[in-house]
């Protein structure tokens, strides 16, 4: 079984990283896009992790947690993130209100620069969704309660677009693709989906067309 990475595809998704199978590793890796099957060379960055202190305000109280961020993550004030405290197994969706890097307050920073995140606990999360539309991929978002479950294979409506969930990237790094698996929004890093197109009126057999052939309603 091939290793899997998320990188951009020059054919179908030049801006958003999508799942690829690694065909050749080493210094000059070659990958194949799972969306359009394009084979291309790429650069696979080694990901570093950082333990970052998070101060969360909830109502009149404040408390401190620790979360793990990777070198791939850039955060900014007003971002919504999930703080997953490994020691207590508690998960807190928060809105970032301030970012500290040493003695400086920054509006935006890479995880490698951050010493403390200040945030406000929220009841909802914003789930990132990469929607495959033909040969292109569009970035979309859906705001839902943290406990809302997304089910692989099920249809969802995002704004005015109907999508069908194909895969779900979980925050622990795993990728689920088995139809029927349900995952709460608070644990989801990204959803990969395809746009659903409905047949227009008159396509296929309808009760009206069948009536003309001696079929009743």
Q: Which of 188, 190, 193 is nearest to 131 (CA)?
A: 193
Whether 61 is in a domain gets the answer: yes
56 and 37 belong to one structural domain: no
Q: How many domains does the chain have?
A: 3
From 122, 150, 173, the end of a domain falls on: 122
Whether 213 is in a domain gets the answer: no
107 CB-contact burial (10 Å; exposed 0-12 / middle 13-18 / buried 19+): exposed
Q: Residue 171 sits in which domain range?
A: 125-195
Whether 207 is in a domain gets the answer: no
Q: Is the pTM of this model over 0.85?
A: no
Whether 181 is in a domain gets the answer: yes
Model pLDDT, residue 201? 58
92 and 140 belong to one structural domain: no
Radius of gyration of the chain (CA): 21
Taking 80 as the threshold, does the pLDDT of residue 203 lie above it? no
DSSP codes of every residue in 98-154? EEEETTEEESEEEGGG-SEEEEEE-SEEEEEEEEEETTEEEEEEEEEETTPEEETT-
Q: What percent of the chain has pLDDT over 70?
A: 88
Taking 80 as the threshold, does the pLDDT of residue 100 lie above it? yes
CB 110 within 8 A of CB 130: no
From 122, 156, 185, the end of a domain falls on: 122
Model pLDDT, residue 202? 55
Q: Which of 117, 127, 119, 140 is nearest to 186 (CA)?
A: 127
Pairing of strands 49-58, 116-121: parallel
166 and 105 belong to one structural domain: no
Q: How does the average pLDDT of the chain come out, rounded?
A: 85
20 and 54 belong to one structural domain: no
Instruction: Give the model confidence (pLDDT) of 11-63 as tens digits.
Output: 999 988 899 999 998 889 999 999 999 999 998 888 788 899 999 988 778 99
Taking 60 as the threshold, does the pLDDT of residue 205 lie above it? no
Model pLDDT, residue 106? 94
DSSP letter at 159 equals T
């Amino acid at each position: 079984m091939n290793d899997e990475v998320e990188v951009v595809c020059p054919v179908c998704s030049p801006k958003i990283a999508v799942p690829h199978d690694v065909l050749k590793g080493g210094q000059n890796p070659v990958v194949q896009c799972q969306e359009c099957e394009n084979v291309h060379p790429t650069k696979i960055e080694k990901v570093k992790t950082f333990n970052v202190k998070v101060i969360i305000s909830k109502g009149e109280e404040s408390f401190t947690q620790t979360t793990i961020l990777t070198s791939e993550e850039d955060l900014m004030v007003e971002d919504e993130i999930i703080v997953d405290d490994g020691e207590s197994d508690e998960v807190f969706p928060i809105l970032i209100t301030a970012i500290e890097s040493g003695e400086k307050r920054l509006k935006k920073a890479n995880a490698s620069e951050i010493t403390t995140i200040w945030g406000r606990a929220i009841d909802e999360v914003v789930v990132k969704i990469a929607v495959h539309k033909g040969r292109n991929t569009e970035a979309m978002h859906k705001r839902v309660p943290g406990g809302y479950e997304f089910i692989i294979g099920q249809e969802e409506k995002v704004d005015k677009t109907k999508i069908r969930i194909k895969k779900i990237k979980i925050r622990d790094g795993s990728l689920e693709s088995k139809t029927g698996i349900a995952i709460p929004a608070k644990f989801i890093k990204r959803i990969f989906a395809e746009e659903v197109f409905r047949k227009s009126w008159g396509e296929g057999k309808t009760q009206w067309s069948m009536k003309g052939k001696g079929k009743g309603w």
